[in-house]
Amino acid sequence: MANVDKLIEHIGDFGPFQKKIVTLGALPLILFAFVLIGVVFIGHTPDHWCWSPESESLKEECGWTDVEVLEVTVPHSEQSGSFSRCERFGLDWSKSQNKCKEIDWLLASNATELVPCDSRWLFDKSHSTIVSEFSLVCEKSWLADLNQVFLALGFFIGAFITGYMADRFGRKPCLIASMVGLGVSGIGVMLSPWYPLLLTFRFLQGAS
């Protein structure tokens, strides 16, 4: 160890070259951090409620606000007291003659038949995520968890592939190819119009 210490003193300790290597080597780690924890932001589940087929007509014919329409189309959750996220009132408003005057009765009675959301949802518009874009809520909420599953699967497969590539072609080409793959797959995740395609790019992102 004494000889090693003297050698380090002779060639220099932590100089400009070492600082450059550490800085360049830290860049992929910074990108990796965004890939790993990005699901906290892109996979967040915003507030959502059942969309009722008669929602727009109720607003137009009765002059109700969005909150008033929610009051007569979506029940309140017993646990939180807020609007239910996966159920709505099973009323056929098209058969109601005085639907604009029935709001007081509906607000006073919560005994109306409830049905699950069968068409689509209304989401909080303050921000958009993959959950709101692909409606991954209620019975489809498990699909949102596949985002991280496919990323982890990409990590697993990529560890074998990149290890072989590094031994076969060298570490520098392997690192460059990984960075290019990371950039391309990231753009693919951002622009994917279908959820299965997004999962495919998420897998490639993990592999890169």
Domain match, 147 and 71 both = no
Average pLDDT (105-119) is 61
Cβ atoms of 84 and 77 within 8 Å: the answer is yes
If we measure between CA atoms, which residue out of 181, 195, 135 comes closest to residue 35? 181
Residue 171 lies in a domain: yes
101 and 157 assigned to the same domain: no
d(CA 44, CA 144): 9
What domain range is 60 assigned to?
48-123
Query: Would 86 be classed as within a structural domain?
Result: yes
End-to-end CA distance of the chain, in Å? 39
Please return the burial class of 122, using the count of CB atoms within 10 Å of its CB with bins 0-12, 13-18 and 19+.
buried
Mark whether 207 and 134 lie in a shared domain: yes
How far apart, in whole angstroms, are the C-alpha atoms of residue 186 and residue 179?
10
Angle between helices 195-207 and 141-169 (to 10 degrees): 30
Q: Is 48 helix (H, G, I), strand (E, B) or coil?
A: strand
Can you state the angle between helices 16-37 and 171-191, rounded to 10 degrees?
Answer: 30
Task: Specify the pLDDT at position 98.
Answer: 59
Q: What percent of the chain stands above pLDDT 90?
A: 8
The answer on pLDDT for 12 being more than 90 is no
For residue 143, with 0-12 CB atoms within 10 Å meaning exposed, 13-18 middle and 19 or more buried, which class applies? middle
**How many other CB atoms sit within 10 Å of the CB of residue 33?**
10
Closest CA to 132 of 142, 122, 146: 122
> What pLDDT does 108 receive?
47
Q: How many domains does the chain have?
A: 2
Average pLDDT, the chain: 77
Same domain, 42 and 53: no
C-alpha span between 152 and 199 (Å, rounded) = 11
- The segment with the largest mean pLDDT, out of 29-33, 78-82, 111-115, is 29-33
**pLDDT above 50 for 22:** yes
Mean pLDDT computed over 38-61? 76
